Amino acid sequence: MKAALRLWAALARGASGAAWEAYFAEAPEGEALALLRLSLGQRPKAGGKAGDLRAAAQRAANLPDWLWTEAEAFAGSLGEAAALCLPLPAPEAALPKLSALLAALDQGVGPEGFWPLLPPEGRRVVNALWLGRFRWAPDFGPLLAGLSAAKACPAPVLAARLARACGKNAAPLSAALWAKGADVARPAEPVVPAWVGPLEALGARGDWVVDWAPEAPQVLAVHPEGPVLWGPGGALGAPPEAARWAAGLPPGSVILGAAKARGVQVLDLRAWAGEAWQARPLAERRAFLATALKPPLGLSPGLSGDWAALTQSPAPFPSARLLLRALALPDQAWLWAPPSLAPPPLTALLLYIERGASGPERLSFGLARGNDFAPLVSLPAPSDPAAKALLRALAAEAVARFGPVQQVPPRLCGEIAHEGLVPAPRRKLGYQLLNPRLLRLFPDPELSALTPLADLVAGRQSP
């Protein structure tokens, strides 16, 4: 379990692929599989009552009731207090295996037996698992990259096999996950898309295709192991319909597409039957797809007209949520629609600053609603020195504090670009911006400068 604890600590300190690779290179097979099981959300069934855990921990720590209560209040949770209040394990104590710990919890064995062997970091895990409060959802991109590098197995193959281990009828994890074999074709590896923007230079129109369904699953890879879908940020899955979609694709193919109700609208081709296509021109890739695809796969509509015409007339685009994908760019990044195709930026008032270790981390902006302001959006604080200086001054005169979140006087406005507005009943304002980003901060305390909510809503409703 030592390697797992080191990995968790490294991830908490911002490590990613290298830490995963180091873990998978070091951890024994059973331990790595146990950790992967946790990473897929397959936790032991929560077994214990909080009261029982507290009683056991209090006994083990030999603390009076009132002192335990004070410690728990300071620690913030029972699991944390039970992790910290016990004496540290003796130096000669051998750490238990993660796999053994999970197996014991599976059988309903309580965590007390593990406490004397575990440091606080390990006790945190076992307590949270026992109480059903274990939350860990690692980013699959770095995990797969690390596992792939450590086991010399292609990431898409691993992804496909891991996808089979998800869900109710999942096959149990085994070392076959990273086994190499002649049956495994190695397709071009799909790049997990990352969001960037706003877009400053569009480049040649031929470098672009339109993604008409930006919120659908985005990548379809087909392997001998079965189809797998990748989404933005590395989300992974294998829905039942994926098999139907993939039926017309040869093994070792990777297409980029948007899953829709009746099939997949294919945007681009990364690999076909194990052969990499991504170095070929976009036009050639799409021409091949036009002949090779069979229903329910279909080629997405192309982008007609030139940029000037497109930006002058948004008629071809169904909504402001349109995304464009720069398939010919080397990093294969996704890019937002140019500002001219998006709704005009809005002006909102800075209401709260959330402080981090190094200063302002997030800014909350709001719009007027009645005689008050309601928060609309929270955005990362800008990092340029001038903005930081302004924010430092504002933070110093905060009018109210809620932990790290500080309410500030209404003296700064933010110009916020976005891709549209959707209803969000649980938000105070009733709406949520799509893909918001802060363009600039400027001092303007005039209420008239703020975008009226009514205008925003009206803009949303206009065609």
Query: SS3 for 227?
Result: strand
Shortest distance, position 351 Cβ to other proteins, whole Å: 22
Question: Which of the stretches 68-76, 163-171, 219-227, 449-457 binds other proteins when contact is defined by CB under 8 A?
Answer: 68-76
Q: Is 75 in the site for other proteins (CB under 8 A)?
A: yes
Nearer to other proteins, 48 or 79 (CB): 79
Among 87, 113, 224, 404, binds other proteins (CB under 8 A): 87
442 HSE (CA, 13 A, CB side): 10
Q: Kindly identify the residues of this chain, within the stretch 331-370, that bind other proteins according to CB under 8 A.
A: 357-359
Q: Kindly identify the residues of this chain, within the stretch 187-216, that bind other proteins according to CB under 8 A.
A: none
Contact call for residues 240 and 247 (beta carbons, < 8 A): no
Among 1, 81, 185, 328, binds other proteins (CB under 8 A): 81
Among 43, 54, 124, 286, binds other proteins (CB under 8 A): 124
Nearer to other proteins, 126 or 238 (CB): 126
> DSSP assignment, residue 268?
E
Q: Is 137 in the site for other proteins (CB under 8 A)?
A: no
Q: Is 25 in the site for other proteins (CB under 8 A)?
A: no
Q: Is 88 in the site for other proteins (CB under 8 A)?
A: yes
Single-letter amino acid, residue 264:
V
Contact call for residues 225 and 239 (beta carbons, < 8 A): no
Contact call for residues 167 and 240 (beta carbons, < 8 A): no
Shortest distance, position 120 Cβ to other proteins, whole Å: 7
Residue/partner pairs of 330-334 with CB below 8 Å, 24 or more apart = 331/191, 332/191, 332/193, 332/278, 333/193, 333/194, 333/196, 334/193, 334/194, 334/195, 334/196, 334/232
Nearer to other proteins, 22 or 104 (CB): 22
Shortest distance, position 15 Cβ to other proteins, whole Å: 5
Among 116, 120, 198, 420, binds other proteins (CB under 8 A): 120
Residues near 55 by beta carbon (within 8 Å), at least 6 away in sequence = none
CA dist., res. 395 & res. 118, Å (int): 41
Nearer to other proteins, 88 or 422 (CB): 88
Single-letter amino acid, residue 276:
A
Among 25, 50, 61, 379, binds other proteins (CB under 8 A): 61
Nearer to other proteins, 8 or 208 (CB): 8
Residues near 208 by beta carbon (within 8 Å), at least 6 away in sequence = 202, 303, 324, 325, 326, 327, 328
Among 26, 39, 42, 77, binds other proteins (CB under 8 A): 77
Question: Which of the stretches 28-36, 82-90, 235-243, 308-316 binds other proteins when contact is defined by CB under 8 A?
Answer: 82-90
Give the helix/strand (H/E) hosting 372. strand 372-380
Q: Is 125 in the site for other proteins (CB under 8 A)?
A: no
Question: Which of the stretches 116-124, 159-167, 250-258, 281-289 binds other proteins when contact is defined by CB under 8 A?
Answer: 116-124
Contact call for residues 95 and 122 (beta carbons, < 8 A): yes
Nearer to other proteins, 5 or 50 (CB): 5
Contact call for residues 145 and 156 (beta carbons, < 8 A): no
356 to each of 375, 402, 435, 441, how far by Cα in Å?
Answer: 20, 13, 23, 19
Helix 2-12 and helix 120-131, axial crossing angle in degrees, nearest 10: 90
Nearer to other proteins, 71 or 109 (CB): 71
DSSP 329-340: STT--EEEPPGG
Among 30, 110, 116, 119, binds other proteins (CB under 8 A): 119
Q: Is 65 in the site for other proteins (CB under 8 A)?
A: no
Q: Is 71 in the site for other proteins (CB under 8 A)?
A: yes
125 HSE (CA, 13 A, CB side): 25
Shortest distance, position 89 Cβ to other proteins, whole Å: 10
Residues touching other proteins: how many (CB under 8 A)?
Answer: 38
Question: Which of the stretches 10-18, 46-54, 156-164, 188-196 binds other proteins when contact is defined by CB under 8 A?
Answer: 10-18
CA dist., res. 175 & res. 286, Å (int): 38
Nearer to other proteins, 77 or 311 (CB): 77
Nearer to other proteins, 60 or 457 (CB): 60
CA dist., res. 63 & res. 65, Å (int): 6
Burial-class residue 447 by CB neighbours within 10 Å (0-12, 13-18, 19+). exposed
Residues at the interface with other proteins (CB under 8 A)? 6, 9-10, 12-15, 18-19, 22, 61, 63-64, 66-67, 70-71, 74-77, 80-81, 84-88, 91, 119-120, 124, 357-359, 385, 388, 392
